[in-house]
Structure 1
């Protein structure tokens, strides 16, 4: 090493240590504030985020700016989706549509088969959809299935969440895998095929199988969300077909956009523009609410005042959820702006590990540090792009999947999705770590095992 490089490394080492210590300390403070002092998660996340920025040397005003930027971008994305999803979910419940879907699922599945059915539902819904959209669409079904079937809430929720999460992290055309496909110049069709091969056993292991174990660790009552006497006493309910169509409308719209992006990526035709617009997550879910008013309201024989009341009363219960999710996004942005992702990237450079294992480790470390699967995917793809240039097409696709699996590892307090799941299921931070966080780790490790197994035989 030249003297200049040596001096640079020596100068950077204290700063790198400071960043890592600040990030770890921030996470510890947030957990302590919530679990020990019983401070509301929103306030704890604000305190932790600003504290991390100051401890990492970001500065007072830049720390505030970073937090508000992350809060705003999260609310602009996830916040809008949660709002539309809450309105749709309340309408689905009040019209009797959710009861109709649940009656059909429960009536055609034994208690032993029901978790497998929910895993399949989560995977199918999650194939073209962002995780957050799938979650807000399926949460009424998850809660009502648990209430109606008598199964533990976690036994029903974990398989559904596993189906959503696996598809989000491993299978194109989700944004994360697509970013890696583009950055590494991978074959999209081959990556999609291999992704499905890895996803199927991963959903099985992290869903129904792990859900049975997680339900023993955490036993919580079914939350009081989506309870409505009017739906139970309603003489007229939407048909199963109408209720299912209402749920699938955003799925169909987003799937249409995804297919168009693959088949006609460079096209500027009017049809492609329409599909791009309709398949935008906020537009797709907003249209689901509008069509839900027609399909569910009409099917449930709801008058205009009943529909208006249903939509109005859907929003107050999610105010706390929105603030917590937004603060989680703010905390994530502070971590990103401190540059801790770059510190991890530099530490990994020059490693002699297997390239697929290395890809997973890089993505996993950045995910744990920043709380963002997208940041982990983008950063890891950029670091490993030179390595991918020397690999076969098959192994480049497997590297995409290894990065995707690593980007899901260890979701915790710096991840907005952690708080979204926690608040919907009504569990404590510790219980969410035992269930949701553990499930994400199982998905990540099982996905890596699938990638390594395929690399040995292909």
Structure 2
């Protein structure tokens, strides 16, 4: 029944948005209340559950999205995004520009959270699409696919790192083997599938998109833009800070070193929210003060970027509300009961449990952590199983079928100006391909490892 109720709730949401054209945020909240009632959450607790889900989601990404949007606007308005875009176009050429996007996204996505990497890269992707006069969807899908893979498969992302610890898998080995699996998975989901969808549904790439979140993009002559080096350094400064934090933390743990002021400072500046704030302050100097742009003009531009984010943040928060309702409504516990005492291949079991939890609950991180707790007792019965591959199978399953209860679904939809049908046909399928391809490569490696 919990799974049936969840499916009906998703269907109702689609009807409200697509058939009756109801505001997306309002539809999400209405469906959240109805799901909570039918899943048996006490009426007096429903409002608190929805508030917790909405606040918890926005608490995680609100600061990152807000400052990240201002950072992206500063780099774009100064011409930094234009300089990076033109350089990538000249280096790779129009025919291989998707490979440029995938390469940049992979490098940025290894360290940064999905949301942080997305808001940093999207202005550059948009500039490239304008320069080449091609759809932002054509470039945005490879970026989204790459970020999904790196976020789900590779440490130091929280899901992969935490699950590796629970299973007892070596994090460094997970990173190496995960990269081996991630590369062909990205090619299939991020390069080959968008090409296929371009042939099956060409209108997706031909449709003119209104992207209010990115604001008005002004034309800047190349000679008036910042240098490529300083533009890339400013855009990737959060990556550098978080990479330093991850590396130092790993060294501290491996060497068994005690805590001190140095490690505390590194952890502080490596935190996603702190890193994005420091990067914003750097951009104020490199993209503004250094170029004699008045502070007031920069802040006016930053303010307009925040105004464009209002409804998007509410929509993402609404997705978080549905996710919390499903968690508190016991959908995850119901799925756990289904697999109690199962004797199937541990790799397939871990993938299947994570996939079902992801579809039901929406959060890939919640799905991976919940799967680890459910699968761990079963692993004791199969001592010869490769724990690194179990970790990666869990990460692959946590990508499955992104839809309306996943914040990333709404981020991709809104930033790329797609409707619900287009987002299901593109990002939902890409996430499913990522999950299935990841499992296939895990099973292939299991033959040799």
State the TM bucket, normalised to the shorter chain.
over 0.9
- Residue 309 of structure 2 aligns to a residue whose secondary structure is helix
Per the alignment, residue 408 of structure 1 pairs with 399
Tell me, yes or no, if structure 1 residue 28 matches structure 2 residue 11. Answer: yes
Q: Does 1:308 align with 2:295?
A: no
Alignment deviations for residues 175-204 of structure 1 (CA, whole Å, 9 cap, x no partner): 001111111111112211111111111111
- 1:8-407 correspondence runs (5 A): 17=1, 19-216=2-199, 217=201, 218-219=204-205, 220-225=207-212, 226=214, 228=216, 230-232=218-220, 236-265=224-253, 267-298=258-289, 300-389=291-380, 391=382, 395-407=386-398
Following TM superposition, where does structure 1 have runs of at least 4 consecutive aligned residues deviating by more than 6 angstroms? Answer: none
Q: Indicate if the aligned counterparts of 2:82 and 2:222 stay in contact, CA closer than 8 A.
A: no
What is the alpha-carbon distance in structure 1 between the residues aligned to residue 385 and residue 127 of structure 2? Answer: 43
Unaligned runs of 5+ in 1: 1-16
CA 1:106/1:271 → structure 2, altered by over 3 Å: closer, same or farther? same
Query: Contact 1:199–1:447 (CA<8 Å) still a contact in 2?
Result: yes
- Following TM superposition, by how much is the alpha carbon of 1:230 offset from its aligned partner in structure 2, in angstroms? 4.7
Per the alignment, do residues 389 and 298 of structure 1 end up closer, same or farther by CA in structure 2, a change over 3 Å counting? farther
What RMSD over aligned residues (CA atoms) do the two structures have, in Å?
A: 1.7
Partner of 1:11: none
**Residue 386 of structure 1: how far off its partner (Å):** 2.0
> After superposition, what is the alpha-carbon deviation per residue over 1:139-192, rounded to whole angstroms, capped at 9, x for unaligned?
101111111112332221111111111110001111001111111111112211
Mark the runs of 5 or more structure 2 residues left unpaired by the alignment. Answer: none
Match of 1:433 among 421, 424, 427: 424
Number of aligned residues? 441
Q: Is the 8 A contact 1:186 1:393 kept in 2?
A: no
- Deviations along 1:25-54, one digit per CA (max 9) or x if unpaired, are 211111111111101110000001111000
CA contact (8 A) 2:362 2:403 kept: yes
- Alpha-carbon separation, structure 2, partners of 1:295 and 1:27: 46
Calculate the TM-score normalised by the size of structure 2: 0.95
Say if 1:234 and 1:300, in contact at 8 Å, map to a contact too: no
